[in-house]
Amino acid sequence: MASESCIFCKIVRGEAPAAMVFEDEHTLAFMDIFPVTDGHTLVVTREHAENVFEASREVLEAVAATAKRVAHALRDTLAPEGLMVFQLNGAAAGQTVFHYHMHLMPRAAGEPLLLHTRVPGDPQRLASLAETLARHVAR
């Protein structure tokens, strides 16, 4: 059930802005507005499902396929030393937006292992990253 106030549903409906990287039938990929590291991207289900338990297998398979596309785009463009892919279910696990999403976070050796930050990314950098990644997402 889509929520009126859900920020990711608003992005899906085009009512909130996002630096979009990729869209298909079941998923969207866009830059995290609070990037923990440069290139931090989210893959979100098009339909509102709160977590891994509510999302259908079909949709989760689409999330995995999109995550792979974005992972390659991140590796091709930013060449990070590592790439963290993670997904949080429930406040106790650190979930802060209760609409299913997967994080792809480029990482460098020795960085602290943060999951979230409250520091917004530079909108121009996010837009430029999204544009570059969108060009490199394998179709």
Q: Minimum Å distance from CB 82 to Zn ion?
A: 30
β-partners of residue 83 are 106
Among 26, 40, 69, 99, binds Zn ion (CB under 5 A): 99
By CB under 5 A, residue 8 contacts Zn ion:
yes
Q: Is 101 a catalytic residue?
A: yes
Answer yes or no: are the C-beta atoms of 106 and 40 closer than 8 Å: yes
Contact criterion met (CB below 8 Å) for 20 and 29: yes
Instruction: Candidates 22, 39, 45, 48: give the one binding Zn ion (CB under 5 A).
Output: 48
Catalytic residue among 26, 99, 101, 103: 101
123 three-class SS = helix
Measure Cα distances from 12 to 30, 65, 84, 115, 122 in Å: 11, 18, 24, 23, 22
129 three-class SS: helix
The span of 6-14, 20-28, 37-45, 88-96 binding Zn ion (CB under 5 A) equals 6-14
Q: How far is the CB of 1 from Zn ion (least distance, A)?
A: 9
**Residues written for the chain:** 139
CA distances from 52 to 5, 55, 82 (A): 20, 5, 24
4 versus 118: smaller Cβ distance to Zn ion: 4
Q: Which stretch binds Zn ion (CB under 5 A): 14-22, 45-53, 59-67, 108-116?
A: 45-53
Which residues contribute to the site for Zn ion (CB under 5 A)?
6, 8-9, 48, 99
Catalytic positions, written as ranges? 101
